[in-house]
A and B are shown apart, each in its own frame.
Chain A
Amino acid sequence: MTTWHLLLLASIAVLGIKLLGYAVPPRLFDRPRPRRTLELLTVSLLAGLVAVQMLGGADGIVLDARIPAVAVAAGLFAVRAPFIVAVAGAAATAALLRQLAGLP
């Protein structure tokens, strides 16, 4: 499958899931267990994505400037910095560490 196929498939899936919310009887998911499961599914996907984006590389795990950069972002989120500020802070940290400290 080409990138186009994949992205259209994914977009239609996400859109279809949104429509599903307006179509299925609310009773079906509007209970503690499915609610909690969906919330924790989201948490575990996002946490997994943090790990993979921070550590993933050509050969499995690669340790580089992304780790201190993510620590800076977490610190900024902890003090309730706006999303764009924290993300830019992470990028700047990684860029500077690579430029000035020669980190990979």
Chain B
Amino acid sequence: MNDFAALVPQRLVWDKAEDGAPASLVAALARNAAEYPDRIAFRERVYGIWQEQSWREVLGEILAIAAGLERHGLVPGMALTVIGDNRPRLYYAMLAAGMLRAFPSPVFPDVPPDELKVYTENGAPDVAIAEDQEQVDKLLELRARIGRPKTIVYDDPRGLGLYTETGVMSFDALIADGIARLKDDPGLAADLLSRAKADDIVVLLHSSGTTGKPKGIPLRQRNVARGVVNAQKSGYFALHEELFAYLPTAWVGDFVFTVGAGLMMVATINIPERQETALHDLREAAPTFYLAAPRAWDQMLTRIQVGMQNATPLKRKLYEWFMPRAIELEKKRLAHQPISLGDRITEIAGDVFVRAPLRDWLGLSRAQRVFTGGEALGEDTFLFFRALGINLKQFYGQTETCALTAAQPDDRVKLHTVGRPMVGVEMKLDDNGEILIKSPSVVDGYYDDPEGSAKAIVDGWLHTGDAGQIDADGDLVVLGRVSEVVRTASGERFIPGFIENRIKFSPYVRNVAVFGAGRDELTAIVCIDFDAVGNWAEDRRISYTSYADLSQKPEVADLIASVLAHVNVLQPPSLAIRRFVNLHKDFDADDGEITRTRKLRRNTIEDHYATLIAALYSGVREIDFDARITYETGEVGTIRRRLIINEVAR
């Protein structure tokens, strides 16, 4: 093992903002190494045990990586492609790039080689950091096509021993080069620490590209640093959090809430062994701060519901008795209604029998600040987790504001709102109801796109594209994308995403697309949840062979019809879903039907399934549908399926 702590200069100085907080993430790193040298900074699970590194060691390793990267061609203003799952050295490399006044540009690890080109255009990255062989192969393919990146540094050497391509090197070799440079030049470490400025780009992210090509969004050091400090002043972060780094590194949520908050709040960042073990490792890490996308909360809820369906009678009865009561009580709490003594007793008993064991099983028993964001979370899911005793709150933000715009304070948790603007955030609605934001965390503009920047940011106000309104208490309600509001033939306004979220609360539905713009009635394409419906079918002795087979079973059609009928009750009659089809496969990011962050790409779906949608409105009972499938290799094939069109009872 390298003695990284010895590489840290004796005297550390760092830039401070007016209120004394570090002005940049590099400054925060120096502050942490100086003031909390022995506090655990990163904790990574390797072969079942957690490897810990203190702030001083982390700074030493980052200095070595920075010195190594500089030697291998990373220059100020250049992007550094980072592709892979959450690994400490990938994070270190991101921070090392910041030291060199270059900037990391993380890419989703499941991006296919074709799309990789789009994500590596901005900043002309000549150096890339890859997690493992899979990513190295992709980058080599990219290099064969466009001649970049020249240097590829990999973290996990498995399978790479015999690679002879030039410029492919291991992290160990990079670090060894860096250490050699630092030892030759005693002033280098202090020099590396002094270069970064608050105005430098700290990370280049990309918009999810729900509509068209992703845009480069450069966050600057001061955006993240000030954003986190303002969120702390609003009470959404605390010093010395335990964080859990499992979100995709290319999502703003991971960079700001894991790296940004981790450095500024002197937190401990826990990194799971692999994506597949993340849920298990979450229980071992037991974070105090936890952020998950609505998708993940829905999945957690499904896991609990499936587990409870299989539970032994006593356990299941207790759950079925206590959980609905807990949810009712939570509703009362949120409505600020008086709570009776009986309710309290039920709550305590429910805590012993159901809620505390479930919180412990999830690994959220210590979590004090728990958030959901990115898109709307189904009300029922939201209520369920709050009723479980987890202080789940909504936050609202865009990549352009470092995801730090608004959140719910403890006493203002409501089902429909996203809370209030954080400290330092100014917000207003324009005449169309679009939300406009001005805050220190708002970016200056898009990368290399003055036209787009001028459109999105006018006089310092960011046009979010979200339709919103302020409710009677002064809390912000986000209705949906301004562009997503559509009307039926009779002129009724609705947002498909809103209805879809309601349907997706059912554990049996994994994805759904609702149609009806310009039509008389609403229809839906439903992707069943294979685990939950499979389990349901097994319980009823319905045999099936595959997802496609299961989805077309008449019993499953009845099941989904009952789910939709339940949602219809909550809808105005003119916006009830009348017909649906169970799709033979789930929507897939490789087919372009959903984004990597699992948002629906409505245009693509309407294009792919145009014949199917036409059939939904034509009144036929079934249709032979030629489905287009994109394989992971990038090849495209078609498959003919007979799909049954089902009616929802009125």
Asked if A pairs with B, the answer is no
Q: Which residues in A have some Cβ–Cβ distance to B below 8 Å?
A: none
Q: Which residues in B have some Cβ–Cβ distance to A below 8 Å?
A: none
